Structure 1
Amino acid sequence: MNHRHDDTPGPSTTPRPTQWVTTPITADLLRGALDLERTEHGVLPHRLPARARAQCADGQLAMAEAQPSGVRLVFRSRATAVELDTLRTKMAYQGAPPRPDGVYDLLVDGRLAGQAGTTGGNVLMVDMTTGSAETRPGPVGTVRFTGLPDGEKDIEIWLPYNEITQLVALRTDAPVEPVPDRGREVWLHHGSSISHGSDAASPTATWPALAASLGGVELINLGLGGSALLDPFTARALRDTPADLISIKIGINLVNTDLMRLRAFAPAVHGFLDTVREGHPTTPLLVVSPVLCPIHEDTPGPSAPDFSDLSAGKLQFRAAGDPAERAAGKLTLNVIRDELSRIVRQRAADDPHLHYLDGRELYGEADFAELPLPDQLHPDAATHRRIGERFAELAFSPGRPLATERA
């Protein structure tokens, strides 16, 4: 079922060869990407525009924004078989077991109809003890979906949220065309690695993808692992991206990196929101504070990795700061929540479309007792589902800050 058909003539008893139609991969077949870079192999979707990428040389940001969380190929076709050639770049850690392969989700008319993986590709080998990394090149692989129902249908292929993915070729056994505008509202979201996907089961199972599905909205996910740092270029990307609904999740990465002190934090939040409002002056905008993370509730960062069980594939994190350092302006999650709540109340006096959501309503103490964070920082697949369902209820349902027309 999943092998590539040979197009050479054969005896009449052999299956009729598939007549492939190759379609150029262009921006009108992609959703969730803000930029499409031409490469020697094909095209590389980016979640930040080129101008933003040029303003920061941080390797973590470069990796995160090129990992296509929420990016999907979307087209309409009678095709019953689809092949997608890709060149992935997969992360690996020195001294640790191989990470699971990325998953491609196939949706037909909005419903999950298949999952597949690919082979080959590049490997980015990271030595976490030294911070060094090297890329080991590999070949292009092919993702195959067969047995799709006959007849015209909307087909979506969601790319792995945790593998940089160059799109090389799209083949189908029937012509494809772009999907017409269905009139769904566009939800633009920015956050950290939890919004990016962390340890979700698949690309449509990250909490933003789940929430978007439940809310009936089109997702643009600017969740950037390790990189939700109030960067001005990210604010400008949000400003310049058309959207009907916007949410911004702020906090955990500022503690992880120990990036700034309280004196800088509040003006940075104001500046970030000012920039977004330049492009979206009356768009419903929801500011979301961090979900519960016990190690950093009252202990500043940075977050420090614990390598003691790395050979068994287990990486843990701990808070390396000192609670006494709060007096000097170091940030903790509780400090950040208090400030965000205050800032939103202050601004909402003149901005009735600005709202605040305490992240602990998405994942709080009772949730941690039932579904603890496996590495002390990131939620697992079950927790992604819970957060996605909660967000859909608290943000998209009637009377809520991002209530949709569908709701």
Structure 2
Amino acid sequence: MTDWITTPVEPELLRGALDTERTERGGLLPHRLPAWVRRQYPDPGLLGAAAKPSGVRLVFRTGARHLELDVHVTRTRYVGGPATEGLFDLLVDGRPVAQAPADGGTVYGVDLSTGAATVVPGPPGTVRFAELPAGEKTVELWLPHGEQVELLALRTDAPVEPAPASGRRVWLHHGSSISHGSSADSPTGTWPALAAATGGVDLVNLGFGGNALLDPFLARTIRDTPADLISLKIGINLVNLDLMRLRAFGPVVHGFLDTIREGHPTTPLLVVSPVLCPTHEHTPGPLAADFSGPAPAFRATGDPAEAAAGRLTLTVIRAELARITAQRAATDPHLHHLDGLALYGEADHADHPLPDGLHPCPAGHRRIASHFAALAFGPGGPFEQQSAGA
């Protein structure tokens, strides 16, 4: 029989969250947006995306061989889609050791064809890991990137203490659902998590499905968040929603960058344009769900001819981001640009097509991560580690 030690789940055990909230159950709910943003703009889509803890993990030192975590998860399931369960990924001293889902949980059902939503409440569950490597070690427990997770209780068979600071650089990345991790097979399988592991950095993932919209409150959040490296992947959601025209896009990008520079005047800042998405390369939004095939997919509903009048497409956005960053880099040597087609272009799409016309498959996430790690963290990249005295 295991002699369990219960450790309160406190904010100091968490990495990758910007805020936490105590719940009615006495649990801890991680947030990837600060409370003032959640009050200022309580949009359900934004708050739902930000409550899904992509990149958030428990990190602690322990000699434990057995670990249990009580949680209450809230899963989103789409009518006609698979009934998937998110995984918790366990790393020991940086090495993947095990994966497990949580049982129980509440299911939030969404019918994309009608917009109707249902909520089926469920009980808390437990994630269990056994036979961890012996000895003192650093344990990382990455939370599912696509489920809201309320942390209720941590039990181990040896004492737990918060891990000391890693000494690694902190990389803050902002982007859309692809950065959030949509269709990745696990929380450490999202392309930002994979790239962070290769680059040897600590990730703060501010990728929000459907909500990379150049909102001013997001620029202020990034401005006020400590980071050694910052990247912004801009474009796809603006086209998806048909949110603005070219006349507004340029000034909004400038304003977003201006705000970030107020808090990070010399931090390496990488602007990444959209990866390939044939749906929106030359066709404006808005985006619509398409149920004509065997599985839900997406299609663009705009008129390609209207791009000449200022409606945004991915091709238009790539050209404008290249122009803006080149203009600003003349007086900002720490600002950099990366063409998203270098991360996922025609050849990558041929190898790993977008299953729903919008999001990469798990292999696509790995391909994007590999390219980003080489181009950003590799030799000559804007995030390359500089040696002391360099």
**Which category describes the TM-score, using the shorter chain as reference length?**
over 0.9
How far 1:234 sits from its partner (Å)?
Answer: 0.8
Aligned partners of 1:293 and 1:377 also within 8 Å:
yes
Q: 1:97 to 1:330 in 2, by over 3 A?
A: closer
Give secondary structure in 2 for the equivalent of 1:188.
Answer: strand
Match of 2:202 among 202, 218, 226: 218
Aligned to 1:393: 374
Distance in 2, Cα, partners of 1:225 & 1:299: 21
Consecutive aligned runs of 4 or more in structure 1 exceeding 4 Å deviation:
none
Q: Is residue 128 from structure 1 mapped to residue 109 from structure 2 by the alignment?
A: no
> What does residue range 260-271 of structure 1 map to in structure 2 within 5 Å?
260-271=244-255
Per-residue deviation, residues 358-388 of structure 1 (Å, max 9, x unmatched): 0000000111112111111000000100110
Give secondary structure in 2 for the equivalent of 1:155.
Answer: strand
Aligned to 1:378: 359
How far 1:66 sits from its partner (Å)?
Answer: 0.3
What amino acid does structure 1 have at the position aligned with 2:305?
A
Q: Normalized against structure 2, the TM-score is what? A: 0.97
Distance in 1, Cα, partners of 2:387 & 2:213: 33
Q: Is residue 89 from structure 1 mapped to residue 74 from structure 2 by the alignment?
A: yes
Per-residue deviation, residues 170-196 of structure 1 (Å, max 9, x unmatched): 111110111111210000000000000
Percent of aligned pairs with the same amino acid = 67
Distance in 2, Cα, partners of 1:182 & 1:162: 26
Aligned partners of 2:232 and 2:270 also within 8 Å:
yes
Aligned to 2:152: 168
Number of residue pairs aligned between Structure 1 and Structure 2: 387
Match of 2:138 among 136, 145, 154: 154
Aligned to 1:366: 347
Match of 2:288 among 304, 312, 331: 304
Give secondary structure in 2 for the equivalent of 1:386.
Answer: helix
Aligned to 1:287: 271
Aligned partners of 1:85 and 1:140 also within 8 Å:
yes
Quick check: which has more Rg, 1 or 2?
A: 1
Aligned to 1:319: 300
Aligned to 2:5: 21
What amino acid does structure 1 have at the position aligned with 2:334?
H
Aligned partners of 1:91 and 1:99 also within 8 Å:
no
Distance in 1, Cα, partners of 2:56 & 2:290: 32
Q: Is residue 349 from structure 1 mapped to residue 333 from structure 2 by the alignment?
A: no
Distance in 2, Cα, partners of 1:262 & 1:176: 53
Distance in 1, Cα, partners of 2:362 & 2:387: 27
Aligned to 2:238: 254
Aligned partners of 1:125 and 1:135 also within 8 Å:
yes
How far 1:405 sits from its partner (Å)?
Answer: 4.2
Q: Normalized against structure 1, the TM-score is what? A: 0.93
| Unpaired stretches in structure 2, ≥5 consecutive residues | none
How far 1:406 sits from its partner (Å)?
Answer: 7.7
Aligned partners of 1:236 and 1:275 also within 8 Å:
yes
Aligned to 2:96: 112
Distance in 2, Cα, partners of 1:388 & 1:406: 24
Distance in 1, Cα, partners of 2:164 & 2:81: 44
Q: Which moved more, 1:207-216 or 1:176-185?
A: 176-185
Distance in 1, Cα, partners of 2:382 & 2:81: 43
Q: 1:406 to 1:221 in 2, by over 3 A?
A: farther
Q: 1:27 to 1:405 in 2, by over 3 A?
A: farther
Aligned partners of 1:185 and 1:404 also within 8 Å:
no
Give secondary structure in 1 for the equivalent of 2:344.
Answer: coil
Distance in 2, Cα, partners of 1:98 & 1:284: 40
Match of 1:69 among 44, 54, 59: 54
Distance in 2, Cα, partners of 1:47 & 1:97: 26
Aligned partners of 1:216 and 1:406 also within 8 Å:
no
Q: Is residue 49 from structure 1 mapped to residue 30 from structure 2 by the alignment?
A: no
